[in-house]
Structure 1
Amino acid sequence: MRWWSVANFVSNAGTWMQLTVQNLLVLQITGSAAATGLSMSVQAAPALLISVLGGAAVDRWPRKLTAAVSQALLGMIAFTTAVLVALDRLDMTSLLVLAAVTGVVATVDNPACALLGNDLVPAEDVPSAIGVGALVHQAGRLVGAALAGVAVGFLGTSAAYFANGLSFLFVASVIPFLRPAAGAVRHEVAKPGPRASGGELTVREGLAFFARRPRLMALAGVTGISAVFGRNYGLTLAVLVTGPLAGGAGSFGTVSTVLAIGGILGAVLGARLRRPSVRLVGALAAAGGLLQVLAGLSPSLVVLIALVLPMAVVESVSDTAGTAVLQTDPPAHLRGRVLGVWGSVGTVWSLGGPPALGLLMELAGARGALVTGGLLIAAAIGTGHLLHNRRVPAPVLLRTGDTETPGRPALSTAA
């Protein structure tokens, strides 16, 4: 698990180096902000369309081999991009094709690597392992964004892509040496049922399991409303800081740094969770919504910074708990497919959230968007909790002689 964490840290740092540089590269090629958004959408589109197939592949193929091959393929794509950039041969068409191929490979790589990490610890330690993974992700994000500026400044834009390619190959080289821990959930390669001629039934099984599992549907609802009306702090807080609070780029940089620190603290706390639940995810998301309301009402930058830290901590712990539920609730042979369904659903939120939030800011301003969004999150989760409690039957009192005891109602002969 230590080796896997180191490999993921290196990979995350490389990925964030590339992501930091890629938007600037598109702007240099096209001079269009719309083209930048298009490149991001093209890379995300495969997750929307074929994540369920990628998840089915993860359940059917040996996990270690699947993760190693997908990491190697992502490395080759990064090296190809680096060469094209270095030779000044990268145009918008080539970049979009490479982004689309990256998105296709990621539909297999993301669930494979996520579940591979869970194989390296005993079953009871999986929530902690997911928390460690969140901590590694946040640390890699900080280091990668910082290294991107250094690499581009001294070595040029292609250096970021080349470094990312090396990071993928490093992960691929570590995977063959990983061994499952004693007591880990055993992954058995899923096979299609007797009526299946291919992967169609396995995909349907994943969709059916997700749709019939109330706690997963509740988790999707909580995460979805939080993703659409909150969490896009890079958008809402940037407008709030530079607008009503009259700050500049440096002030927003301070807010972004505090958000990153809060994310790391939240990941540390999340790693201590032993029994995460959807109820906990909902409570944290509602608390985050209320903190967002207070942030929208902040009279000064100092007050905003004081609120941003707990906002980021709550969000990070909530994400860690939700991921633990998602990866441990399904049976082992269905987890890849369930993650595939989640990948498609999550892509809808990531693509639809920013435009919806942008429209809300146009109508209500940055403060209004934060306040309205936070209230909607808290109200929706609170309403869902009340409706859930109303559906749970109360204990029935059974009379035994002169004593009343709680128990189940007696069954009639018709029942």
Structure 2
Amino acid sequence: MVPPWIRVPGYGSHASGHLPRWRRPNPGHTLAARNPCTTEKAVLTDLDTSGTAPAPVREAPPRGSLAPDRGPPTQLPDAPGRPPAAPLAAGAFAALRHRNFRLFWFGQLFSLTGTWMQSTAQGWLVLELTNSELLLGLVTAASSLPVLLFTLYAGVVADRMEKRRIILAAQGAALVFALALGLLTGTGHITLGWILLLVLLFGTANAFEVPTRQSFFVDLVGKEDLTNAIALNSAAFNLTRVIGPAVAGVLIGTVGIAAAFFLNALSYLGVIGGLLLIRLPKFRPPPRTQSTVENLREGFAWIRGNRLPKTLVGLIAAFSILAFPYAMLLPVFARDVLGVGAPGLGALLSATGAGALAGGIALAVIGDRVRRGPLLLVSSLSFTSLLVAFAFSRSFTLSLVLLAAAGFTMILNNATTNALLQSLVPDALRGRVMSVYVFMFLGMTPVGSLQAGAVARWLGAPVALAGGGVVLLLVILIVWWRVPELREVR
């Protein structure tokens, strides 16, 4: 049975009298009583507020409890007593002062470059083998199918086991799979069946690695620099998104597709080496007092009982189904709509990555200086509108500009959603809640890829992308109208 105090004050229906003293809501923090001139527009008591009056002394929650981790009180920029803000340049790289994060971050630069090379080469290979947008969508869906099957369980594992070991095992397995894909392609034995099998294996490794990595950042930098670490990780992800596809496009046109797969296998050594050099306190597994099903139910109950996390998870699912399939359709746009071939595909992907890199750097610089609620609204509407505009573009140059702008707004949207959710989740549930986030982020991709592939086969790729974008715009507007807390959250 889920404990009744799993809900966050201000969201659940439990009266304060049924909550431990440290979980009872502060009447001064309710939305109706909040004075916008003296307090932050935080919606939850999870997001601690402080105004010009001294904050009441609170008893710290017990270690390992399911109470949201509040951290130190935050204040408005003009609130009295606020320490001087760190210089923008220093704040942009705050997480890199942590040795463990530096090792992991630079290792990721090598590994993710190879990942983007393989992703680009794989999409082109499938299109060359099958000449079918629907089968291209099927392969993309197959790569995400294991996320539907294993990610939620992976969140339980991440809360029970040492996270570094899980990530090491997943990266090592992916290295082997990349070698196999390169060998099959290089020797001419590659078929659609082999591709489907290998993407399923890759997807299984990702199902365990991604949610574990998302909850691993707090172990590397602590709560203070968590938002900056997420932003820098997004910047690294998108820096490699610029380099990887461009290199893959050159390789495909010169030495062949297999070279991209071999270089990806080699790139995994970077992150594996970084993980082996990281020094962490000895891991002490928590006592197992519940079954796996009960653990999963507990994570879902926390999300279901808290309106803001529930809304964030729902929004990311909508993006995964209606917007993110654009990446799967890019080979079709490059070959059939814009007529620019494999090098053009690499340029389109690199433009997206360049914009997303700029977005990650911008987010790292501004940090918490901008309210995350309005930032989420503007970035989500902008990203979706830019995708609709790209769907109707027939100019290669204009398409590059639109994708770069879409990449910029996409990373603002994704990283802000991630950081906001992580600021709300209690430590004891972090792995499970982030696994639900990844489940929606990646697990809904098969649904999105299949629907986009089917519509593209029937009506064309531009209609598939534009139609999904228009529906998503309506979803975003409805959510922002019905959930005012999301507009006001700090």
Q: Which amino acid aligns with 1:171?
A: V
Asked if the contact 1:192/1:202 (under 8 Å) is kept, the reply is: no
Alignment match of 1:264 (pick from 332, 357, 371): 357
Cα distance in 1 between the residues matched to 2:450 and 2:215: 32
Structure 1 residue aligned with 2:123: 23
TM-score, L = length of structure 1: 0.76
CA-to-partner distance for each residue in 1:336-376, whole Å, 9 max, x for gaps?
A: 21222223223453222244456667898777766665554
Structure 1 residue aligned with 2:67: none
Matched, 1:111 2:197: no
Alignment match of 2:437 (pick from 342, 349, 357): 342
Structure 2 residue aligned with 1:285: 380
The 1:14–1:371 alpha-carbon spacing in structure 2 relative to 1, beyond 3 Å, is: closer
3-state SS of 1:314 partner = helix
Alignment match of 2:317 (pick from 208, 221, 224): 224
Q: Which amino acid aligns with 2:113?
A: A
Structure 2 residue aligned with 1:249: 340
Asked if the contact 2:144/2:443 (under 8 Å) is kept, the reply is: no
Structure 2 residue aligned with 1:398: none
Matched, 1:121 2:121: no
Deviation at 1:45, TM superposition (A): 0.9
Deviation at 1:270, TM superposition (A): 1.9
TM-score, L = length of structure 2: 0.66
Q: Which amino acid aligns with 1:205?
A: E
Deviation at 1:133, TM superposition (A): 0.8
CA-to-partner distance for each residue in 1:232-268, whole Å, 9 max, x for gaps?
A: 445778888999xx85427965655543322111111
Alignment match of 1:383 (pick from 450, 455, 478): 478
Asked if the contact 1:215/1:278 (under 8 Å) is kept, the reply is: no
Deviation at 1:152, TM superposition (A): 5.2
Structure 1 residue aligned with 2:96: none
CA-to-partner distance for each residue in 1:204-257, whole Å, 9 max, x for gaps?
A: 2222222222112211232233344435445778888999xx854279656555
Cα distance in 1 between the residues matched to 2:285 and 2:454: 45
Structure 2 residue aligned with 1:39: 139
Alignment match of 2:406 (pick from 311, 321, 332): 311
Deviation at 1:119, TM superposition (A): 2.2
Q: Which amino acid aligns with 1:221?
A: G
Q: Which moved more, 1:296-305 or 1:37-46?
A: 296-305
**Number of residue pairs matched?**
383
Cα distance in 2 between the residues matched to 1:21 and 1:135: 22
Cα distance in 2 between the residues matched to 1:33 and 1:304: 20
The 1:225–1:35 alpha-carbon spacing in structure 2 relative to 1, beyond 3 Å, is: closer
Q: Which moved more, 1:137-146 or 1:77-86?
A: 77-86
The 1:286–1:237 alpha-carbon spacing in structure 2 relative to 1, beyond 3 Å, is: same
Cα distance in 1 between the residues matched to 2:191 and 2:459: 39
Alignment match of 1:178 (pick from 260, 278, 286): 278
Gaps of 5+ in 2: 1-100
CA-to-partner distance for each residue in 1:48-103, whole Å, 9 max, x for gaps?
A: 12210111111111111221122112212223333444455555444433322222
Deviation at 1:387, TM superposition (A): 2.4
Deviation at 1:303, TM superposition (A): 6.2
Q: Which amino acid aligns with 1:214?
A: R
Identity of aligned residues (%): 24
Structure 2 residue aligned with 1:352: 447
3-state SS of 2:279 partner = coil
Gaps of 5+ in 1: 393-415
Alignment match of 1:72 (pick from 172, 197, 200): 172
CA-to-partner distance for each residue in 1:87-124, whole Å, 9 max, x for gaps?
A: 55555444433322222222111122233333222312
CA-to-partner distance for each residue in 1:20-55, whole Å, 9 max, x for gaps?
A: 222344456667665544333322111012210111
Structure 2 residue aligned with 1:409: none
Q: Which amino acid aligns with 2:306?
A: R
Q: Which amino acid aligns with 1:133?
A: N
Cα distance in 1 between the residues matched to 2:391 and 2:307: 33
Structure 1 residue aligned with 2:30: none
Deviation at 1:322, TM superposition (A): 1.1
Structure 2 residue aligned with 1:402: none
Higher helix proportion (structure 1 or 2): 1
The 1:390–1:177 alpha-carbon spacing in structure 2 relative to 1, beyond 3 Å, is: closer
Cα distance in 2 between the residues matched to 1:367 and 1:155: 32
Q: Which moved more, 1:279-288 or 1:253-262?
A: 253-262
Asked if the contact 2:185/2:258 (under 8 Å) is kept, the reply is: yes
The 1:51–1:2 alpha-carbon spacing in structure 2 relative to 1, beyond 3 Å, is: same
Q: Which moved more, 1:128-137 or 1:268-277?
A: 268-277
Cα distance in 2 between the residues matched to 1:42 and 1:296: 25
3-state SS of 1:82 partner = helix
